[in-house]
Amino acid sequence: MSHLPEAPASPPARPPEAVALFNTVLTSELLVNACWAKAQQGTTGLAWPAAYLILPLTLHPETRDSLPRDRRITLARWAVRNHDLLADMEYRVANMALPTKRAIRHGLRARRLGLDGTNLVALARPKSATSQWPTELSDSVKAARFCGQWFNAIETHMAFELLGIGG
């Protein structure tokens, strides 16, 4: 009696909404925008671990809508004011780890992102939102840029702590 190896199971199908929302080009461009915005006010790129915070902060509609418009509001102040949104942040960051990895790999392959030591850097200025862009896309890009700027004012490990991740 011959025992043939079992055929490898096919990867689980992702729902079409997740495929569209977590499209690697879109998610990579959100990271490019965050890196570019950070570089405009700082001297280094976005720390590799901080990249894992960008998508959960910018793609989750309630979180994105709660981000301040005033650049003087710090991540710490925002986190205190929005503790209810942070209740599942650790789960969202873990859930977005694979799309973030895909986005980083795509950005590096497409030469939209580069590495400066362990920091991600935007290799070219990303396009700014226009009135022709869908509102959700425009809002996500603006949120990514805002979050990138936040990381000039805080150490990455403190951001994780403030957001309730890994505690």
**Residues, the chain:** 167
CB under 8 Å to 102, separation ≥6 — which residues? 22, 24, 27
User: pLDDT for 105-151, tens place per residue?
Assistant: 999 999 999 999 999 999 999 998 888 889 999 999 999 999 999 99
Is residue 119 within 8 Å of residue 8, measured between CB atoms? no
Element (H, E) at 122: strand 119-122
Q: SS3 of 118, please?
A: coil
pLDDT tens for each residue of 20-51: 556 999 999 999 999 999 999 877 899 999 99
Letter for the amino acid at 109?
Answer: R
pLDDT band at residue 93 using 50, 70 and 90 as cut-offs:
very high
pLDDT at 1 over 60: no
The model's pTM = 0.85
Q: How far apart are CA 9 and CA 37, in angstroms?
A: 42
Q: What residues does 88 pair with on adjacent strands?
A: none
Q: What is the pLDDT at residue 112?
A: 97
Confidence of residue 14 (pLDDT cuts 50, 70, 90): very low
Q: When comparing pLDDT for 130 and 94, which is higher? A: 94
